[in-house]
């Protein structure tokens, strides 16, 4: 079973905005959109994008990462929905 990290979308922000994960280990990112409107989780570095409808949850599989920082954003609210995954 892969570790799961929860990311909440609330008030068009990601909480927490920094997710620390173990480098070299694949994991699941569970995104809980608590806003009434949809948001798109997107990361060019992770090569992932997914629309999460309002008041729903979704999971994204992330492969093992090398140490470093991997920014992500919410495409529908780019000014406020910003964050990063830090692989250590």
Task: Look up the pTM and report it.
Answer: 0.92
Average pLDDT over residues 35-51: 96
Strands 27-33 and 39-43: unpaired
Taking each continuous run of H as one helix and of E as one strand, the counts in the chain are 0, 9
Between CA 11 and CA 63 the distance in angstroms is 28
Beta bridge partners of 6: 30
pLDDT bracket for residue 1 (50, 70, 90): confident
Taking Cα atoms as reference points, which of 76, 71, 86, 61 lies closest to residue 9? 76
Contact 15, 39 (CB under 8 A): no
**pLDDT tens digit string along 45-71?**
999 999 999 999 999 999 999 999 999
């Amino acid at each position: 079973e892969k570790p799961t990290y929860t990311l909440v979308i609330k008030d068009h922000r990601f909480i927490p905005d920094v997710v620390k994960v173990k480098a070299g280990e694949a994991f699941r990112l569970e995104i809980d959109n608590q806003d009434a409107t949809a948001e798109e989780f997107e990361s060019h570095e992770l090569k992932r994008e997914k629309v999460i409808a309002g008041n729903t949850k979704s999971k994204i599989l992330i492969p093992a990462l090398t140490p470093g920082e991997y920014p992500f954003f919410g495409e529908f609210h780019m000014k406020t929905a910003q964050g990063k995954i830090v692989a250590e």
